[in-house]
Amino acid sequence: MINYSAPDLTQHPPRSVRVRLGGYAHLPRLLDKARAVIAGKGGDYHYNCPLDERLFAFTGISPDAMLAEIKTGKTDVQILEWVVTASKRQPWEVAAWSAWLEQNGPGGADGHEWAASVIKGNKSERDDIRSFADLLDFDDYISYGGKA
């Protein structure tokens, strides 16, 4: 069983970008990565990556402030309460932003080339990967033994 209060990302991936906490897409994944990095079990995952930065920009919470809260040992629900208070975002804003984040794709040529390199690098012929959420789910699955 996976212990989300102390995840070991050398053994399993973080939760999907699509998993929501209080309506926030990506927040559970960010928490998994932060807790694993704090414990020295982050593997290839990084806290404050470009996707994390999008959540920080939307909420107005700094990566350092978030990490400090996580280091106190708060649960997912306690972190969510803190995020809701600190960000002052309305539920409809959170829902719209989360829907956008789940569908956000590579954008320009550089992003498409990078996404294609991830797919090809895993020897896959898949043509259904359109968003960063799709790509991260695919990469997590492959990284832990799934078939391309």
Q: How does pLDDT run across 70-98, given as a tens digit for each residue?
A: 999 999 999 999 999 999 999 999 999 99
Burial class (CB in 10 A: 0-12, 13-18, 19+), 41: middle
Among candidate residues 64, 70, 68, the one with its CA nearest the CA of residue 29: 70
Q: Tens digit of pLDDT for each residue in 97-130? A: 999 999 998 888 888 888 888 888 878 788 888 8
Entry pTM: 0.91
Residues 6+ apart with CB under 8 A from 138: 118, 119, 122, 124, 126, 129
- The encoded tokens of residue 11 equal 């053994």
Mapped onto helix, strand or coil, the DSSP state of residue 46 is coil
pLDDT single digits (tens) 2-55 = 777 889 999 999 999 999 999 999 999 999 999 999 999 999 999 999 999 999
